[in-house]
Amino acid sequence: QVQLMESGGELVQPGGSLRLSCVASGRVLNYYTVAWFRQAPGKEREFVAVIRRTGDTYYSDAVKGRFTISRDNAKNTAFLQMNNLDPEDTGLYYCAGRVGNFDDYQRQDAYDYWGQGTQVTVSS
């Protein structure tokens, strides 16, 4: 079993940047596909980005070109670099993990492990 813990969320002004981290303990992260999801107030949780076990990455249309997902297997950590932030990016950001590669990576129920979330607030 793996435990995931997010960090890095905070209040930032529109146009600013943040880097979120997702540290895994209990298993080596390089066997996992890792994704970021977010949930805005009053909305359903939505897919943001994924880095598959093989290293390929995919993004939602809302964040493509602004966010970058990456991983450092030696540190058992995945990252989400967020640039040019917009108030619409406000929400609770979660990382999720599952062993191996799979095609339905945008589905929440495809993942076995979740962190507790880190709050990102974009406001002036």
Q: What is the pLDDT of residues 110-124, one digit of tens each?
A: 999 999 999 999 999
Token pair in block for residue 73: 């297997």
pLDDT interval class at 2 (50, 70, 90) = confident
3-state class (DSSP) for residue 36 = strand
| Residue 47 in this model has a pLDDT that exceeds 80 | yes
The 10s digit of each residue's pLDDT in 4-46 is 999 999 999 999 999 999 999 877 788 899 999 999 999 999 9
What's the Rg (C-alpha) of the chain? Answer: 13
User: Any alpha helices (H) in 10-94, and if so which ranges?
Assistant: none
